[in-house]
Chains A and B, each alone.
Chain A
């Protein structure tokens, strides 16, 4: 068999795998995911939640939407910002 045909077969295999991973599980889970998101929307409304509980180590990573906009030196003047996740959290997003 010609190498180019083998390559085409390999690429076809990838297309099949991509279809399997991207489309089939997406179709199967969409109803369940939509129900979960509705439940989380209800919870956010019921308990007046404004933020996701992703990084819970400091208030400016736990509640970026409603905590102080300036995070460095917030605890005391000259305080070092020591949590690695704050490297990725933009302070004061609502002002941008």
Chain B
């Protein structure tokens, strides 16, 4: 055993010295390989972080969301349906919600306007850490809103509290900001303007008696799917979205995202594998002579294959460790600066600090499997071809 280990260490020593002799060539391979692994790992860590966050945060999303569909598109639902839903056994509460998007032409930002009936006593929670300044909405509030810090900046409010938005008929609706969401909630509220149901109805000019959707709270979560089925039976043409479906959507969305990203990056990996193959198979005269001399000195074919394997393993292992570490720093410290634009799109408003990286051994193993192993395979055949050179032909 110790003889085998000693022999392996000697070959490893020789492999490292050999790498150092061709420093320029090996350094370029190392840098390219590190870059490919860095991109792969950054993408994986970013999507993994978002999936984990969505999974954790959306456990408190509405139990059931009911939307009316017409001609394949969402339309307003009659608030009268609320009573029919409330009559279903197991339904604890049904709330109305009006929500929509407001495009601010001046800044190019899209705001998400959410109109809800505030629960009594909500405004008393002045110390709720979700509101950094001011308070939440009260049931009797009119023309009052809670906005995010980003929206305050986009609207250029500074110390002012009042701003106006256009109704569909281009008349102005005035609002007073009574609270600002804490930065910690940016991931959920970066573009949210929260107002009362009546104000949202007025802003979007939605007819009385209509709402965007109905939110159903069920008493027993075990009955969620059964109640969702009953709702679909009672109200024709509605789309019933359960909390589990919302969470599943995010899992699918991020899997899709990372999958498509990985496919794009696979071309980079394939290009690198071709480059590595080319470099490994294009033996220079010096390298061929070196193999010949080693054979004359008594090295066997398997020793030379092991030598080439050690060279490839050292380069790929160091590139893997460096690339993954850089990707970790890139995502955890710099919030994925290089890939952020691609992942988060063209949004004007976007959350700060969206990525909270969590160590997962599966990520490490995945990146290792799709980077180091293909590289070792790509260099295996050239290594064998180099090892079977006849000493008398090359010296």
Contact = CB atoms under 8 A, between A and B. Distances in A.
B185 A10 contact: no
B56 A37 contact: yes
Contacts of B16: 3-4, 6-7
Contacts of A18: 321, 325
Interface in A12-53: 14, 17-18, 21-23, 25-26, 33, 36-37, 39-53
Given A65-B241, A93-B252, A22 B261 contact: no
B241 A88 contact: no
Nearest to A4: B12
A68 B54 CA distance: 20
B351 interface: yes
Interface in A39-96: 39-59, 61-68, 70, 74, 83-90, 93-94, 96
Contacts of A86: 345
A44 B191 contact: no
Contact of B246 (A11, A40, A50, A54): A50
Given A3-B12, A36-B184, A83-B345, A48 B325 contact: no
Query: What is the interface of chain B mostly: helix, strand, loop, or mixed?
Result: helix
Nearest to A87: B260
Given A52-B187, A54-B350, A47 B72 contact: no
A4 B7 CA distance: 12
Contact of A85 (B12, B184, B248, B343): B343
Contacts of A87: 260
Contacts of B251: 93
A48 B211 CA distance: 14
A56 B347 contact: yes
Contacts of B60: 41-42, 44-45
Nearest to B317: A11
A40 B184 contact: yes
B149 to A, nearest CB: 12
A68 B241 CA distance: 12
Interface stretch (B32-40, B106-114, B275-283): B106-114
B185 A64 contact: no
Interface in B100-148: 101, 109-110, 112, 114, 116, 122, 128-130, 136
> What 5 A-B pairs have minimum CB-CB distances, sorted nearest first?
A85-B345, A93-B252, A93-B249, A3-B16, A90-B256
B9 interface: yes
B74 A68 contact: yes
Contacts of B57: 37, 40-41, 44, 52
B365 interface: no
Nearest to B261: A88
Interface stretch (B353-361, B369-377, B380-388): B353-361
Contact of B185 (A17, A43, A45, A62): A43
